[in-house]
Amino acid sequence: MVEILGKKLNNKAKYAVHLETLVSKSYRI
């Protein structure tokens, strides 16, 4: 159970970082 929660949090963190990079790239243009 704890491992599953950890994986979900890890995926959310990766998704958040991905969104931030996309936003920062679009703002630079």
Q: What is the pTM of this model?
A: 0.54
Rg for the chain (alpha carbons), in Å? 13
If you average pLDDT over residues 1-29, what whole number do you get? 87
Asked whether the predicted pLDDT for residue 29 surpasses 70, the reply is: no
Query: Residue 16: which domain range?
Result: 1-29
Residue 15: predicted pLDDT = 92
Q: Distance of CA 7 to CAs 1, 16, 20, Å?
A: 10, 14, 20
Number of domains in the chain: 1
pLDDT tens digits along 9-18: 889 999 999 9
> Can you tell me the distance from the alpha carbon of 14 to that of 29, in angstroms, rounded to the nearest whole number?
23
